[in-house]
Amino acid sequence: MTLEGVEVMALYISVRGWLECDRLQLSAVKEIIAKHADGHYSGGWGFPIRPFNWTSYVFYGGDVQEGDIPWLRDQLAEMAVLSPADKDDSDMQGLFMLTHEVEGLTEWQIRNKGLHELSGDERHQYLGSL
């Protein structure tokens, strides 16, 4: 990529976070991930080897090119609306921290059936640099 004759390297965003879900939601999450599999960044997803107890945790960690962040954001937005198996259980919940090489820290909260984007907090600045 060039900008007025100057070569610009691709920018990366370090993404790390998790989702909390029940077993029914976990199955749906795996389907969403499979549907969006890209053979590269989709390798950043991690699951428990064998779910136990009532809450399953799904993790993502990886350095993603800035232009590919919508690919991940779209998946998380799709996951955020998943309903629990039992109406008395919680909706999808999660937290993702994104560190942009230039713009700094952003927080994605998965709650209330949506993905909510907030500016990074000074409490998390230790996560700041790549």
Q: Find the CATH number of the domain harbouring 104.
A: 3.30.70
Whether residue 83 is contained in a domain is answered as yes
Whether residue 29 is contained in a domain is answered as yes
Q: What is the reported pLDDT for 95?
A: 97
Rounded to whole angstroms, the Cα distance separating 92 from 82 reads 7
Whether residue 40 is contained in a domain is answered as yes
44 phi, psi to nearest 5 deg: -80, -10
Instruction: Name residue 8's beta-bridge partners.
Output: none
Number of domains in the chain: 1
- Whether this model's pTM surpasses 0.95: no
Whether residue 4 is contained in a domain is answered as no
Whether residue 3 is contained in a domain is answered as no
Show the domain range for 104.
9-127
Q: Put the strands of the sheet holding 45-46 in their side by side order.
A: 45-46, 56-65, 12-21, 93-100, 104-111, 114-119
Instruction: Name residue 98's beta-bridge partners.
Output: 15, 106
Cα dihedral value 77, 82, 84, 88, nearest 10? 70
Q: What is the reported pLDDT for 104?
A: 85
Mean pLDDT per segment of 10 residues, for the chain of length 130 residues?
60 96 94 96 93 91 96 98 88 95 91 94 68
